[in-house]
Amino acid sequence: MTFPKTVLNKVNRIPDRGRYDKETIYPIIDEALICHVGFTENDQPFVIPTLHARDGDTLILHGAKASRMIKHVSDGNPVCIAITHVDGIVFARSVFHHSINYRSAVIFGHGKLIKKADEKMRALEVLTEHIAKGRWYDARLPNQKELAATSVARIEIESAAAKIRSGVPKDDKEDYDLPIWAGVLPIAPQYHSSLNDPVLAPNLMPPDYVVNYTRQKKTAT
Amino acid sequence: MTFPKTVLNKVNRIPDRGRYDKETIYPIIDEALICHVGFTENDQPFVIPTLHARDGDTLILHGAKASRMIKHVSDGNPVCIAITHVDGIVFARSVFHHSINYRSAVIFGHGKLIKKADEKMRALEVLTEHIAKGRWYDARLPNQKELAATSVARIEIESAAAKIRSGVPKDDKEDYDLPIWAGVLPIAPQYHSSLNDPVLAPNLMPPDYVVNYTRQKKTAT
């Protein structure tokens, strides 16, 4: 399925890099641990980093009940959510053609507060499983007090686009012979060895989803 | 120097994590390769990832002349710029206390198009040196045509805040004895070995700032 190109999501600059299909956009969303949420209050834009998770064609965000961001999202105002993976630095021969290899997704929609207790619990499960698949089933689940202190919102993905740059530098023809090094410096997140909580109860080992942590690409559903 | 707490930059949720001094905020800005720029057009928020660089108490952004983002920023509309480093995943015993270790900066200001040729050239130098210190002096510098095709904006950092979480999980007292592993999974960007442009001219080696790439922390100035 492909999102229609509109004034919202159309990639104007270097349109070749734009993609509008879920098969491209959703894995970019799923691989990222966090997103940047944009909203407007009295004509003032705000951008706030936060954890997200995709649930079908919706995004789940959560926050403390008093959080400005989650209140604003829950109230149904328009939001824009950006997710970016930096994959490398592109060193061209000319300053002008320097670039970054990246995969980004920009998502537009409106939020809704999740009120029903069972739906809220399921949304928190989706968020927790986004952090690490399996964690929901190991951790102590939220109690009534914790549920009451947390607001969870669901945002319909109404429009979205991905923008991707990959590969080698593109220089002007006449620059290729210049004695200037050109190439790509690949960048990727590295997951180091986990650190036990210093007051960990005895004989507890980090679970497999921590030891072999990966942000594996789910297929779009 | 410390930015006054206002309705814009005040960290409301977990105020202990909020910082308002340049000595904390500026290194967060400098270490990040890219930022997320938020702006509002006809009540619709947009968030766009882009390269940035700090120049004293200002941020430099650039883009193709026709870019919606750079046009909007250059026109002097209010912008919010967020920068986030994810340093780790915090696995608590309870779902509720799961968290992310992070350092984020949120910056508020208004942009201005840089029109003077020499100031524009200097801003592009700052941007290029932000990518890798020394690159400006190695690469082929922008020519008149390239300068004309690029818009560069300067944003006064009028207000800003950092928010930082670090360290171990914080669980409820009664949860510490549960047989659930808790700890931190540290995350950091990894710079892999550089890849030569496949059509690189002979006998060119990657420069030191590529081989030993690091996003070293500058001290605030």
What domains does chain B contain, in order, with CATH numbers? 15-172 (2.30.110.10)
Predicted pLDDT at B19: 93
Distance from CA of B211 to the nearest CA of A (A): 9
Helix (H, G, I), strand (E, B) or coil at A175: helix
Predicted pLDDT at A220: 47
Nearest to B140 among A78, A95, A102 (CB): A95
Give the H or E element holding residue B129.
helix B117-131
Which pTM does this prediction carry? 0.96
- Mean of pLDDT values over B149-170: 97
CA dihedral of B101, B105, B106, B110, whole degrees rounded to 10: -160
- Mean of pLDDT values over A156-160: 97
Q: What tokens were used for A97?
A: 């053609």
pLDDT surpassing 50 at residue A56: yes
CB contact under 8 A, B138 and A179: no
CB contact under 8 A, B13 and A66: yes
pLDDT, mean over chain A: 95
How many other β-carbons are positioned within 10 Å of the β-carbon of residue B3?
20
- Planar angle of CA B142, B148, B149, nearest 5 degrees: 90
Q: Which of A190, A157, A76 has the alpha carbon at shortest distance from B186?
A: A190
pLDDT tens sequence across A161-189: 999 999 999 999 999 999 999 999 999 99
Q: What tokens were used for A4?
A: 């229609």
Model ipTM? 0.95
CB contact under 8 A, A187 and B192: yes
CB contact under 8 A, A146 and B94: yes
Are A106 and A160 in contact by the 8 Å Cβ rule? The answer is: yes
Predicted pLDDT at B79: 98
Beta bridge partners of A49: A36
Q: Which residues of B are less than 8 Å from A107 in CB distance?
A: none
Predicted pLDDT at B221: 47
pLDDT tens sequence across B49-73: 999 999 999 999 999 998 989 999 9
CA distances in angstroms from A156 to A60, A61, A210, B81, B170, listed in the order given? 9, 11, 31, 24, 33
Distance from CA of A190 to the nearest CA of B (A): 5
Distance from CA of A68 to the nearest CA of B (A): 8
Q: Which residues of B are less than 8 Å from A13 in CB distance?
A: 63-64, 66-67
- pLDDT tier for residue B217 given thresholds of 50, 70 and 90: low
Q: Which residues of B are less than 8 Å from A86 in CB distance?
A: 33-34, 189
Helix (H, G, I), strand (E, B) or coil at A206: coil
d(CA A64, CA A208): 30
Nearest to A95 among B49, B100, B141 (CB): B141
Nearest to A46 among B38, B146, B196 (CB): B38
CB contact under 8 A, A197 and B190: no
How large a percentage of chain B has pLDDT more than 90?
Answer: 90
d(CA B73, CA B67): 10
Predicted pLDDT at B128: 98
pLDDT surpassing 80 at residue A219: no
Q: What tokens were used for B137?
A: 């002096």
Are A78 and A86 in contact by the 8 Å Cβ rule? The answer is: no
How do B183-191 and A44-51 pair as beta strands?
A: unpaired
Nearest to B98 among A89, A128, A143 (CB): A128
CB contact under 8 A, A12 and B67: yes
d(CA A46, CA A95): 32
Distance from CA of A28 to the nearest CA of B (A): 14
Nearest to A45 among B45, B140, B181 (CB): B45
- Mean of pLDDT values over B10-39: 94
Task: Give the count of Cβ contacts less than 8 A between chain A and B.
Answer: 286
CB contact under 8 A, B128 and A95: yes
pLDDT surpassing 80 at residue B110: yes
How many other β-carbons are positioned within 10 Å of the β-carbon of residue B164?
18
CA distances in angstroms from B8 to B2, B21, B42, B116, B161, listed in the order given? 14, 15, 20, 31, 9
d(CA B11, CA B160): 10
Closest residue in A to B65 (Cα–Cα) = A13
Give the H or E element holding residue B74.
helix B68-74
- Mean of pLDDT values over B172-197: 97
CA distances in angstroms from B210 to A1, A137, B91, B194, B217, listed in the order given? 40, 43, 35, 7, 17
pLDDT surpassing 80 at residue B220: no
